[in-house]
Structure 1
Amino acid sequence: MTSITAIFFDLDGTLVDSSIGIHNAFTYTFKELGVPSPDAKTIRGFMGPPLESSFATCLSKDQISEAVQIYRSYYKAKGIYEAQLFPQIIDLLEELSSSYPLYITTTKNTSTAQDMAKNLEIHHFFDGIYGSSPEAPHKADVIHQALQTHQLAPEQAIIIGDT
């Protein structure tokens, strides 16, 4: 039996409540595009999947790229600062980081995830922060990339997340 040698954390909904910033970024994006914003329940459903997939449910194909750009610009400037750590996360990370290498794997792009972790003063607990990119657009791709980078077999890592 292989023992666990690394712990991967999702960011949104696991370590961090970023729902206010995400909601505000989506609302701002729809306003900038001049289209009606979906209701709050629909926007909550956008939290987690890649942005392109979420925007594809309610925008035309030719609007998606612009929407992603507007969203990311707003979120990077304002949204990441509206995130809050869930209670006891610092205690958990302190405890686990003394025994395991910790990693963040998220569908946020890497630089945004790194900036959020720095702003929340948790970046120093992690041996790596991995986000989506054109080469790794989905969560499974991001996890695979982190496993390969750190020469870990899938059975050596545990993933802690909300989905």
Structure 2
Amino acid sequence: MPFTAALFDFDGTLADSFAAITASTNFTRHHYGLPALPEAVVREYVGYGLPNLMQELVPTANPAAAVAVYREHHAGIARAETKLIPGVAETIPELARRGLRLAVCSNKSVTFTRDLIAALGLAAYFDAVLGPEDVGGRAKPDPAMLHEGMILTGGTVGTTVYVGDMAIDVHVARAAGLPVWLVPGGAAGKESPAAAGPDRVLTGFAELLDLLRG
């Protein structure tokens, strides 16, 4: 049975947002008297949601207070410091043209994700852009976001694929009962994405044009 719907992670899958995440993380660390970290270190902690990022990288702060500092800074730089992963700008519109129903399921604050999807010119192609806030705060690897994504795209377990870049994306797809494909070059993470056992590792984002015919 062909796929009729595709769900996507955001950071590291659709967009290279690591410069922005690193800048806001280091702004928050500076606020609490901590030295800056290189982007390579910050990348290891991206993907599990902002509260986790602050707990891990700003351990001296109250997590909720650190999240507030981060978000205030991030609102001013996210658009300028976020760019699409190569191949995304051409692939997403073509998938939508073919009749695929598309949605974003990201642990990023949904306010930022929706704003960035619009700023990057992709809003018209997605049926939904979801964050933990849309499913009672249940962040991935809880499968609630993917279940909601299937409802909003009309997909089923047999007709939907999840596309991500990290081991957590493999785990959430397995929990939702979906096949999972990974794009290269995203967040590093603490766990090897390939070792987590994805169904496919893409050579690049544009490979989706060969795999998803609609």
Q: TM-score range by the shorter chain?
A: 0.7 to 0.9
Unaligned stretches of 5+ residues in structure 1: none
- Which position in structure 1 is the counterpart of 2:131? 131
- Which position in structure 2 is the counterpart of 1:147? 150
Structure 1 segment 37-52 matched on structure 2, within 5 A = 37-52=36-51
Distance (Å, rounded) in 1 between the aligned partners of 2:81 and 2:38: 20
- Which position in structure 1 is the counterpart of 2:19? 20
Letter in 1 for 2:139: H
Shift of 1:39: 4.3
Letter in 2 for 1:121: G
The one-character-per-residue Cα deviations of 1:88-133 (angstroms, maximum 9, x if unpaired) are 2121112100121111111111111110011111111111111122
Structure 1 segment 1-163 matched on structure 2, within 5 A = 2-60=1-59, 63-98=62-97, 99-133=99-133, 135-139=136-140, 140-163=143-166
Distance (Å, rounded) in 2 between the aligned partners of 1:35 and 1:63: 14
Shift of 1:151: 4.9
Letter in 1 for 2:81: E
> Quick one: percent identity of the two aligned structures?
23
Distance (Å, rounded) in 2 between the aligned partners of 1:143 and 1:72: 25
Q: How many residues align?
A: 162
Shift of 1:152: 3.4
Distance (Å, rounded) in 2 between the aligned partners of 1:96 and 1:147: 16
Letter in 1 for 2:136: E
Q: What TM-score do you get using the length of structure 1 for normalisation?
A: 0.87
Distance (Å, rounded) in 2 between the aligned partners of 1:76 and 1:68: 12
Q: What TM-score do you get using the length of structure 2 for normalisation?
A: 0.68
Distance (Å, rounded) in 1 between the aligned partners of 2:60 and 2:30: 17
Q: Does the CA-based 8 Å contact 1:13-1:162 persist in structure 2?
A: yes
Instruction: Give the RMSD, CA atoms, in angstroms.
Output: 2.1
Distance (Å, rounded) in 2 between the aligned partners of 1:52 and 1:33: 16
Distance (Å, rounded) in 1 between the aligned partners of 2:40 and 2:70: 18
Distance (Å, rounded) in 1 between the aligned partners of 2:63 and 2:86: 35
Distance (Å, rounded) in 2 between the aligned partners of 1:84 and 1:58: 24
Q: State the secondary structure of the residue aligned to 2:48.
A: coil
Q: State the secondary structure of the residue aligned to 1:154.
A: coil
Shift of 1:26: 0.4
Shift of 1:56: 1.9
Q: Does the CA-based 8 Å contact 1:103-1:126 persist in structure 2?
A: yes
Letter in 2 for 1:156: T
> Larger relative contact order (C-alpha < 8 A, sep ≥ 6)?
1
